[in-house]
Structure formats: C-alpha cells, structure tokens
Amino acid sequence: MPGDGQDIPPYHGRDSNTGALAPIAPDFARYLIEFPFGDIYSRPNLDLKSREIAVVATMLAMGNAAPQLKVHVCGALNVGCSRDEIVEVMMQKAVYAGFPVALNGLFAAQEVFNERDADQPAVGQADGA
C-alpha cells in the first residue's frame, strides 16, 4: 500500500539531499521521498534488496548521477546487499554501459565503503577500552 516513504530504511544522503532542496522547492523535496519511496518501493513483488540492486544498476548506467548512486549504494548496504554484490553489479554493467561507467561507479562505491568504515569504532573502542 502506498505511503509517505518514511518507513523505508534511512539512506546516507537521502535526508541531506531533500533537506538541501526544501528551502527552494519544498514540494519537490517532499515528492522526492513520497513518490519513489512511498509509492514505488512499497509495491509488492520485489524485496528492498532487489529494488536497490536495480536502482544501483540504473544510476550507474546513467553515468551522470554519482551523488544519487552513492545514496543508493548506501541504501543497498542498509537493506542487506553485500559489498561484493554491489561490486558485481558494477562489473556486470561494464559490459553494457562501458568500462568508464563501471570504473566511476566503483570509485563512488569505494567512497561509500570508506565513509562507512570511518563511522565504525575501532576494535576495542566500542566499549571504551
């Protein structure tokens, strides 16, 4: 059933992307969440992991959506995709969208992986040790 998209797991960058738009186009910022995440992602027949794989592949093939690709790489990780699966999607796309597109996607994914690693406490530091 369609919703407002707020029940979708948080995506790195999603709130900052829409927050940056709110002062100049508040309705568009709202539509950016409500339509894809509320109406499309909430449809049956595909789980969120499959949807994110499809979106990562699409953003990658576009070749001009690196910020959005990074948001969806993070989203894919949040819904259970492994780093290896994300890399494999990009390798697969090299055949159909070209090696430069795949390379740019791999570099964008690496940025997301590095950011996530930097956000993780070092072993032994999580408990203050």
Residues 66 and 82 both lie in one domain: yes
Residues 65 and 123 both lie in one domain: yes
Query: In the prediction, which pLDDT does 5 show?
Result: 46
Query: In the prediction, which pLDDT does 10 show?
Result: 52
Query: In the prediction, which pLDDT does 121 show?
Result: 77
10 Å CB burial of residue 48 (0-12, 13-18, 19+) is: middle
Residues 57 and 37 both lie in one domain: no
Residues 41 and 56 both lie in one domain: no
Query: In the prediction, which pLDDT does 21 show?
Result: 82
Residues 57 and 88 both lie in one domain: yes
* CA separation for the pair 122, 129 (Å, rounded): 10
Segments forming the whole domain that contains residue 115: 46-129
- Sites in the chain below the pLDDT cut of 70: 1-18, 122-129
